[in-house]
Amino acid sequence: MPSHPAYRPRRLRRTEALRAASRETSVSPGDLVLPLFAVHGAGVRRPVSSMPGVEQTSPDELLRDAEEALSLGLGGVLLFGIPEHKDDCGSEGYADDGVVQRAVRLLKRELPDLLVITDVCLCEYTSHGHCGVLRDGDVDNDATLPLLQRVALTHAAAGADVVAPSDMMDGRVAALRGALDAGGFAGTAILSYTAKYASAFYGPFREAAESAPSSGDRRSAQMDPANALEAVREARLDVAEGADMLMVKPALAYLDVIHRVKAETGYPVFGYHVSGEYAMIEAAAQRGWIDGPRAHEEALTCIRRAGADRVVSYYARQFARSRAGRGAGVRI
């Protein structure tokens, strides 16, 4: 009798070639989507202090970043806009010459092969920072839907391949699908932020997008972090309403939700590895407390392993650059 079992798991861990041969999950640049923040003007590059490596850019500079994204083989870009003026109902969000609409037109003209996804929400555009129109201090769901329809229509008209509603209003996927179809944009896909949690991990994003609510929070619209079965209900609803792809956000703290939504629907699932998750790694790495590149790669691998087909990540470019420099194979 051998003193150990016949199956020795360590046999496949001995060399990198053996580890590569038995690796279950891969991450490649094409799996990653890069978020970009558009501001008005020309030649503008404004660093976001809480997210090293992330900048607000005017459309001309954003085009350069998008060119790099395409040449690195990234799976697309996700655009957010910071308006010139904010008002009660976020009207620049659905203006034909809004900053996202302008950036999308430029990207589709110069880089037709790049996948362009736009965030559909009002919080960056409203003076109060909430995701829709307010009534008695809370977002009025049904009064917000027509405005979201206008946002999505102007994005589609500018040429967006995919619109991604992140507002969490009930019924917004059906409302957007109906408006897009009626407006002649049946081919524009919807990536629904299906399970978007009321998360503390969005903090740095709110600096980047200048979208922190001036009072209260988003808990009346976004999901309670304690709930996973509710995410499955949201996913079924979005599929029934006509969503083409589903997003879970945040990603790293919600891997079980990614797994369940994928298993329950079989739809393409995106994980949004959000600003706070990125900033935590960057901050610890700056102090020398963890190895930044290894931690970032591990996070991306684990989000893919949980079942995400695509990962929205602020680290997408650095990942692809390092991959281009050193060949394939995740080294954790």
Query: Which residue, 119 or 241, is less far from ligand PBG as judged by CB?
Result: 119
Q: Which two tokens stand for residue 223?
A: 């999901």
Sign of CA dihedral 85, 86, 87, 93: positive
- Based on the shown chain and the rule CB under 6 A, indicate whether residue 205 belongs to the binding site for ligand PBG: yes
**58 interacts with ligand PBG by CB under 6 A:** no
| Amino acid, single-letter form, for residue 228 | A
CB of 246 within 8 A of CB of 191? yes
Which residue stretch of 1-9, 119-127, 154-162, 316-324 sits at the interface with ligand PBG (rule: CB under 6 A)?
Answer: 119-127
Please select the residue that binds ligand PBG; options are 139, 274, 299, 306, rule is CB under 6 A: 274
Q: Which long-range contacts (CB under 8 A, 24 or more apart) does 66-71 make?
A: 66/36, 66/107, 66/111, 66/114, 67/110, 67/111, 68/317, 69/34, 69/114, 69/316, 69/317, 70/111, 70/113, 70/114
> Would you count residue 94 as binding ligand PBG (CB under 6 A)?
no
Q: Nearest-CA neighbor of 164 among 292, 156, 30?
A: 156
- Rule CB under 6 A: say whether 54 interacts with ligand PBG: no
Contact 268, 311 (CB under 8 A): no
- Using CB under 6 A as the binding rule, whether residue 119 contacts ligand PBG is answered as yes
> Per CB under 6 A, does 275 bind ligand PBG?
yes
Does residue 126 touch ligand PBG according to CB under 6 A?
no
**Least Å from the CB of residue 147 to ligand PBG:** 13
Residue 46: phi, psi to the nearest 5? Answer: -120, 110
Indicate if 108 belongs to the active site.
no
249 is catalytic: yes
| Candidate list 103, 123, 153, 295; residue touching ligand PBG; CB under 6 A | 123
Residues near ligand PBG (CB under 6 A): 119, 121, 123, 166, 202, 205-206, 218, 274-275
